[in-house]
Amino acid sequence: MLLLLYLAIDAEDDRPLIIDQPEENLDPQSIFKELVHRFREAKKRRQIIIVTHNANLVVNTDADQVIVAQCSSHRPGQLPVISYVSGSLENPSIRQHVCEILEGGERAFKERVKRLRVSTAPEHWR
């Protein structure tokens, strides 16, 4: 909630903003209703860098650049090798990474849609 207050009060600030996991302690509906549009508005005047595990923040804020960190397997007591891939959501490889990491994969996403009986047809979107 402090983040919401900050984004609302600091409407004139144009400095870059770095936020680590703004979704903590917020349910997905609150993230979508309260944070997404505020980030979309704020990104018009400043660079915003978000570290997140939340699909709503990555996809619905219309992120310009997505950076995916991947950790290699490693032995106990050794540091893992971390590699990065980046690009926009228009990039099929980045979309695949987002789906795998944030949604649990295409199969998991489709299963949730099926079980919740949610339509994915555009005419049902609002």
Domain boundaries, the chain: 1-62, 65-116
Query: Would you state the torsion angle of the CA atoms of residues 70, 74, 77, 83, taken in this order, to the nearest 10 degrees?
Result: -30
Average pLDDT for runs of 10 along the chain of length 126? 63 86 90 90 90 94 95 90 96 94 91 82 60
Helix (H) or strand (E) holding 26: none
pTM: 0.77
Q: pLDDT (tens digit, 9 = 90+) per residue, 65-83? A: 999 999 988 899 999 999 9
Q: What's the pLDDT at 1? A: 60
- Residue 54, judged by CB atoms within 10 A of its CB (0-12, 13-18, 19+), counts as buried
